[in-house]
Amino acid sequence: MKQILSYKKRFSILLLAAGITSATLIVSCEKYLDVPIESQLPSDYTKELTPDEAFQYVSAAYGGMRKWGVSVFPYIGMFEVTSDDADKGSTADDSPTMLELDKFQFDANNDLIASYWNDHYSVISTCNYAITTLKKLKFTDTTARDQMVAEAKFIRAFMFLRMNIAYGGVPVVDTLQTVEGFATVARSTKEQVFAFIEKDLSEAIPFLPEAYSSDQVGRATNWAAKALLARTYMFEEKWPELKLITDEIIGLGPFSLYPNYYRLFRIEGESSFESVFEIQNSSMNQGKYRCEYAFVQGPRNNFAQMQGWGFCVPSQKLVDFFTSRGDNIRKAATVLPRGFRTAEGDSINAGCPNPYYNFKAYTPKKYNTVDYGLDQNIRYIRYAEVLLMNAEAALHAGGDAATPFNEVRKRAGLTELGSPTLQDVWDERRAEFAMEEFRFFDLVRTGQATAELGSLGYINGKNNLFPIPQTQIDLSNGVLLQNPGY
């Protein structure tokens, strides 16, 4: 069975990475406004394409989701290191810009914040190119074309939701643009960006399948699009809409919780029946399709094939939170102590510089043939999130919050609660998604950030958003306006 699963993953990685070369041609520069966005179709665009040939345009967008700024260092820093659940990690003098995020001392010149902006717009550009091109190409099977356009819209919505959460309103670009043209695009309001995301997802859902064959695992389904729309509603505080769509996913979807919380985050738990959307990573071809999400969080100065950079480590506050709740199952799956020996037989050196590391990013030694953690997928949307969004929506809009809430608690071995409160749901989200890049913006959206992060340097009204990178403001000749406080 393990060999079969390995083959399926390898095949799907090849499938979802097939267009990476073309994506690189579209977006190869570091500064988005310097990117020569394609404005012409290939010379043979009039020919009829097979679905496999056409999918190269969309696979470039999937491949882009492994980018440094989308899924690695800037993302981890902005969404997790800023929270009270994580510390910078590594060594004291390593990565001053990550330390700025940890201490809320960053400004518009922070290179991680700039990289996050650049790489997200890079993927958006790739999506726009795919959508525009696919609509102009001739197809034997227009059904396949419509599905691939829907996949590109899903990825574009995923990128814009991330941008809107991080920066507030951002420029909405949904067509092919010249560099000069993009420079004139002003920021849309946060509400306008949310509306654009809703539109993309609502248009995508009817054309996305409910499932794929096992050799195409990782492609966006209509369930993934509905769950992403649910996450959008949560940030908009559209509680009746959130309740309705999560009711649908729970009632009609094919998902359930993976029974073993620890194994959920191991290789054998990848793309399981809890996974709604998951980035497929691989070390094959000597790391050609690499994503360093787990690598940069691996134990620093550890034994061979079991070490990474040691960034984004569980804080003592998170450890104490787990302990105070008796939340032992999730604590044991989230917090990897130095001096510890894993169930798989891998040792963590007692001399590592940090007391804890992210256990959810742990990859057993036998898989680390190139670098640490390259085979570790990123579980971007799990069914547990759908359940807890449903519970939160029920407490706002009416309905049964206890059933979905307690389904998550039961797997963690905790006592069920008869009438959970909003704080109970928020605490459950904290425990369930610890070190998965949820905590910081959960604190912001629920109004808890000042109380929980004020002692760490958080300033209300400023740090709820990140600054627009100064390089982008300069390149736009002032068209882009900065966020308050920066």
pLDDT at 34 over 70: no
Q: Which domains does the chain have, with CATH numbers?
A: 1-88+98-220+460-486 (1.25.40.390)
* Cα angle: 397, vertex 401, 406; to 5 degrees: 165
3-state secondary structure (DSSP) of residue 44 = coil
pLDDT at 28 over 70: no
What b-and-e string marks burial along 214-230, b requiring 16 or more CB atoms within 10 Å of the CB?
Answer: eeebbbbbbbbbbbbbb
pLDDT at 1 over 90: no
Closest CA to 134 of 145, 122, 123, 147: 145
User: Is beta strand 138-139 parallel, antiparallel or unpaired with respect to 48-49?
Assistant: parallel
* Phi, psi values for residue 474, rounded to 5°: -65, -45
User: pLDDT tier at 48 (50, 70, 90 boundaries)?
Assistant: confident
Average the pLDDT over 428-440 and give the result: 98
Average the pLDDT over 423-451 and give the result: 98
Residues contacting residue 282 through CB under 8 Å, at least 6 positions apart: 9, 10, 13, 289, 290, 374, 375
399 close to 419: Cβ distance less than 8 angstroms:
no
66 close to 291: Cβ distance less than 8 angstroms:
yes
Distance CA 264, CA 118 (A): 32
User: pLDDT tier at 382 (50, 70, 90 boundaries)?
Assistant: very high
pLDDT at 5 over 60: no
107 close to 465: Cβ distance less than 8 angstroms:
no
258 close to 364: Cβ distance less than 8 angstroms:
no
Distance CA 449, CA 298 (A): 28
pLDDT at 40 over 90: no
Task: Identify the pLDDT of residue 31.
Answer: 39
What is the residue-averaged pLDDT of the chain? 91
3-state secondary structure (DSSP) of residue 311 = strand
* Cα angle: 466, vertex 296, 157; to 5 degrees: 45
Task: Identify the pLDDT of residue 147.
Answer: 97
Percent share of the chain, pLDDT over 70: 90
3-state secondary structure (DSSP) of residue 42 = coil
- Total number of residues shown for the chain: 486
* Phi, psi values for residue 434, rounded to 5°: -55, 135
Distances (CA, A) of 359 to 82, 107, 173, 354, 426: 19, 31, 38, 13, 22
User: pLDDT tier at 284 (50, 70, 90 boundaries)?
Assistant: confident
Exposed/middle/buried for residue 2 (C-beta within 10 Å: 0-12, 13-18, 19+): exposed
Task: Identify the pLDDT of residue 53.
Answer: 85
296 close to 278: Cβ distance less than 8 angstroms:
no
Q: How many CB atoms lie within 10 A of CB 209?
A: 14
199-219 confidence digits (pLDDT tens): 999 999 999 999 999 999 999
131-143 confidence digits (pLDDT tens): 999 998 888 878 9
302-325 confidence digits (pLDDT tens): 999 999 999 999 999 999 999 999
Task: Identify the pLDDT of residue 11.
Answer: 52
Name the token pair of 266: 């191991």
Distance CA 117, CA 468 (A): 8
Distance CA 95, CA 44 (A): 47
Give pTM, 2 decimals: 0.93
228-260 confidence digits (pLDDT tens): 999 999 999 999 999 999 999 999 999 999 999
Find where tokens 């620890």 sit: 262
Find where tokens 């040691």 sit: 310
Task: Identify the pLDDT of residue 13.
Answer: 63
Distance CA 88, CA 105 (A): 13
pLDDT at 223 over 90: yes
